[in-house]
Chain A
Amino acid sequence: MSDRIEPALFAPAAFDAAAAERGGYESYSYWRSTFRTFMKSRLAVTLLLAMTALVAFSFAYPALSGADPNAVALDTERWNLRPGSGSGPFGTDGLGRDMWARTWHGARTSLLLGFVIALFDVGLGMIAGAIWGYARRIDRFMTELYNVVTNIPQTVVLILLSYILRPGFWTIVIALCSTGWLSIARFVRNKVITIRDAEYNIASRCLGTPPGRIIGRNVLPYLVSVIIMEAALTIPYSIGAEVFLGFIGLGLPLDTVSLGNLVNLGKANFMLYPYQLAWPTSILAAITVSFYIVGNKFADASDPRNHV
């Protein structure tokens, strides 16, 4: 008898997509599944479109239209005009400034603030968190640093910064980021620790892969979804923080048009001219709510447990 296997005994099977589907995860792609799960929710898709439209318009309108949000009307007839009475869709404020232009310029400022803060928070937090989670030696130090920094009231940092710099865009960015990156770093650290000791990483370490490569290739890709979610949720948080800072008098300078300043001005005139608060607030809420829901829906969709 011969030991050779006769090829004639075998017939190649045709690829059956349906059987592959039934059989499990052969054609499983993480990003495609995430995308498909996300797209299944009609609310999420609608809000994603709304969010994109709002962001696009907030940047397009100030760039394309020549309307000046700070143009004051000297004619008192033009002051406090109700929406629609020949004064633009949102009316005018107590100095005759066009609320429509102010709202969209404000939205742009606040979104820009949110984007910059998200960029720094998430960027720094991710790098620091990956190193913190990966290197056991610095864990003690970083935990203590976290305890100390999160315990320092943000107002102390903020007021101090406004003495050193000047109250403005970057002061708020630095003040909010000075603590924000650490909480994201801690969040990433907790995720990294669970992934770090997974079997494939132990194997990788045994094979002598340098830590930088393990972090970059084996660990961080699993965190991309978490990171996108954190970034999306930082936007409503920083817009809210700007409103709060305006309220305690530490926000952007009053001649800067921002949603925080519009809300605080509108609040003062609410009894007489409710639309001056209502319109900027509606746009603000539309932005924060859509970012919040899209961020959360994306987090759900990126969880592999929701894929099958």
Chain B
Amino acid sequence: MLRYMLKRFAQSILTVALVVLAVFMLLRLMPTSGYFSREDYVTMDEAARTAYLRTLGVLDDPFTQFGRFASALAGGDLGRSITVYPRTPITEILAEKIPYSLWFGVAGISVSMALGLLLGVMMARYKDGPTDWLGTAYVVVVRAVPSLIYLFLIQTAASRLLGLPMIFYADDVSSWILPAASMALPGLAWYAIWLRRFMVDEENKDYIKFAVAKGVPRGKVMTGHVLRNAIVPLVQYFPTQVLLTITGSLIIESIYSIPGMGGLLVYAIRQHDNTLVQALVLIYSALVVAGVFLGDVLMALVDPRIKLSSAPVEREAA
């Protein structure tokens, strides 16, 4: 068990290191003109530009640069932003932005998990009934129509109908409702449809038929056996989803003007803020890897048949 954990941990470190290295090298392929603001680029002459690039350290061999980055990282230093928030330590930027994304994300996940699992159970319990039909229609719309479209329509329609603010104000609680509800929509559909699918699969198994034939009440079969087993393949995704809330939602944060993490990565890439991009990629991929590991642990806890020391049974939701 311990050996497995250690091996897994070493493997995770390797994965994260490879991702960061790959992104680091990709960023070094970009033209150096991106490190300047437009005015600076025009006003500086060739020598000044070279001098500036040298102070940034981007003219060295990429592997030397990576070594420097890695040793700074080992000392707990993520570096400073170059162009997005010039010379601000990245940890400071993150400390300011993460809470917004985290709270909206956690609110969204709580709502989507509670309502989504409930909807999934109802859809499976009353299969082919009106609940199932309506639930499926909802899932299809959310999953097939690009989210930008329905999120935008909800923002305009709901704010008018319910009299809620159209953008986010940190000190006005009523302006938090729409973004939090919007955060919950895709997750709700995801939980509902997969729980329904796995519950229906489970219901067709022999042991369930036997339990029913034996006279176990329907409700008890549903909660004690069907739900208990159907939720196992979903459980492995919970940790990743919770951890990734800090990445924020680009669309929702942008249409409601929430100063969270959502657009930061895209913005940093477009502004050539390499240190910021590297820090974000490092954090996000570490979270994904940690989430997958925690998911396996959680799955082993929920389902005693799954042993952590071997590869978990593949049963995927997507």
Chain A contact residues, CB within 8 Å of chain B: 144, 147-148, 151-153, 155-157, 159-160, 163-164, 183, 187, 190, 193, 236, 239-240, 243-244, 247-249, 263, 267, 270-271, 281, 284-285, 288-289, 291-293, 305
Measured CA separation A144–B18 after assembly (Å): 9
Contacts A153-B265, A263-B146, A289-B144 hold; do A148 and B152 have CB atoms under 8 A apart?
no
**Min distance, Cβ B229 to any Cβ of chain A, angstroms:** 17
A244 touches B144 (CB 8 A): no
Q: List 28 A-B contacts (CB under 8 A).
A: A144-B15, A147-B289, A148-B19, A152-B22, A152-B23, A153-B23, A153-B265, A153-B281, A156-B27, A156-B269, A160-B26, A183-B318, A190-B314, A190-B316, A239-B146, A240-B145, A240-B147, A248-B263, A249-B270, A267-B152, A270-B156, A281-B149, A285-B141, A285-B144, A288-B144, A289-B141, A289-B144, A292-B144
- Complex CA distance for A38 and B143, rounded to whole angstroms: 21
Q: Considering the chains assembled together, what is the distance between the CA atoms of A292 and B23 in angstroms?
A: 33
A153-B265, A153-B284, A247-B251 known; A159 and B270 CB under 8 Å? yes
Which residues of chain B have C-beta atoms less than 8 A from A292's C-beta?
A: 140, 143-144
B134 CB to closest chain A CB (Å) equals 14
Contacts of A281 in B (CB 8 A): 149
CB nearest neighbor in B for A267:
B152
A240–B146 CA distance with the chains assembled, in angstroms = 5
Docked Cα-Cα span, A302 to B269, in Å, equals: 43
Q: Point out the residue from A183, A187, A243, A270 that lies within 8 Å of B146, measured CB to CB.
A: A243
Which of A152, A193, A263, A267 has most B Cβ within 10 Å? A152
Q: Chain A residue with minimal CB distance to B34?
A: A163
Are A163 and B31 closer than 8 Å at their CB atoms?
yes
- Answer whether A148 and B140 are a contact pair too, CB < 8 Å, given A156-B277, A244-B148, A285-B145: no
Determine the distance from Cα of A190 to Cα of B149 in the docked complex, in whole angstroms: 34
The one of B263, B288, B314 that contacts A151, using a Cβ cutoff of 8 Å: B288
Partner of A155, one of B269, B289, B318: B269
The residue that A148 contacts in the complex, of B22, B156, B254, B318, with Cβ under 8 A, is B22
With A190-B314, A190-B316 as known contacts, state yes or no: A155 contacts B149, CB within 8 Å: no
Assuming the A-B contacts A151-B19, A160-B26, are A291 and B144 also in contact, with contact meaning beta carbons closer than 8 angstroms in the complex?
A: yes
Q: Which of B33-55 contact A (CB under 8 A)?
A: none
On whether the beta carbons of B18 and A148 are closer than 8 Å, the reply is yes
Using CB atoms, name the residue of chain B closest to A285. Answer: B145
Q: Is B306 an interface residue (CB 8 A)?
A: no
Cβ B281 vs Cβ A289 within 8 A: no
CB contacts (< 8 Å) of A153 on chain B: these are 23, 265, 281, 284
Contact A236 B144 (CB under 8 A): yes
Question: Which positions 139-180 of chain B face chain A at CB distance < 8 Å?
Answer: 140-141, 143-149, 152, 156
Ordered nearest first, which 6 A-B pairs have the shortest CB separation? Answer: A292-B144, A240-B146, A243-B146, A151-B285, A151-B19, A288-B144
CB of B250 closer than 8 Å to a CB of A? yes
Q: Are B147 and A155 in contact (CB under 8 A)?
A: no
CA distance A190 to B312 in the complex (A): 12
B29 at the interface (CB under 8 A from A): yes
Within 8 A of A (CB), among B234-254: 250-251, 254
* Contact across chains for A248 and B250 when beta carbons are under 8 A apart: yes
In the bound complex, what is the Cα–Cα distance between A91 and B250 (angstroms)? 32
Q: Looking across the interface, which residue of chain A has its beta carbon closest to that of B315?
A: A190
Kindly report which residue of chain B lies nearest to residue A291, judged by CB atoms.
Answer: B144
Q: How far is the CB of A143 from chain B (nearest CB, A)?
A: 10
Separation of A232 and B66 alpha carbons in the complex (Å): 42
Q: Which residue of chain B is the closest to A289 with respect to CB atoms? A: B144
The closest CB in chain B to the CB of A271 belongs to: B156
CB of A268, distance to nearest CB on chain B (Å)? 11
User: Which residues of chain A are within 8 angstroms of B277 by Cβ–Cβ distance?
Assistant: 156
Q: Roughly how many angstroms separate A29 CA and B278 CA in the complex, as a whole number?
A: 54
B289 and A288 within 8 A (CB):
no
Contacts of B266 in A (CB 8 A): 155, 248
Q: Cβ of B146: which chain A residues have Cβ within 8 Å of it?
A: 239-240, 243-244, 263, 284, 288
Q: Which residues of A contact B31 (CB under 8 A)?
A: 163
B144, B156, B277 — which one has the most chain A CB atoms within 10 A of its CB? B144
Q: How far is the CA of A240 from the CA of B148 in the complex (A)?
A: 8
B1 CB–A CB distance under 8 Å: no
Question: CA–CA, A244 to B255, complex, Å?
Answer: 13
What's the nearest-Cβ distance from chain A to residue B84, in Å? 14
CA distance A293 to B193 in the complex (A): 13
Chain B: CB-nearest residue to A155: B266
Closest to A164 in B: B29
Q: Which residues from B are CB-within-8-Å of A288?
A: 144-146
Cβ–Cβ < 8 Å partners of B22 in chain A: 148, 152
> Which of chain B's residues have a CB closer than 8 A to the CB of A155?
265-266, 269
A18 to chain B, nearest CB (A): 28
Q: How many whole Å from A127's CB to the nearest CB in chain B?
A: 20
A262 to chain B: closest CB distance in Å?
11
A187 / chain B contacts, CB cutoff of 8 Å: 316, 318
B14 / chain A contacts, CB cutoff of 8 Å:
144
- The residue on A at minimum CB distance from B143 is A292
Known: A152-B19, A153-B284, A247-B251. 4 other contacts (CB 8 A): A153-B265, A156-B281, A243-B146, A293-B140
Interface centre among B16, B19, B149, B266 (most CB of A within 10 A): B149
Q: Is B30 an interface residue (CB 8 A)?
A: yes
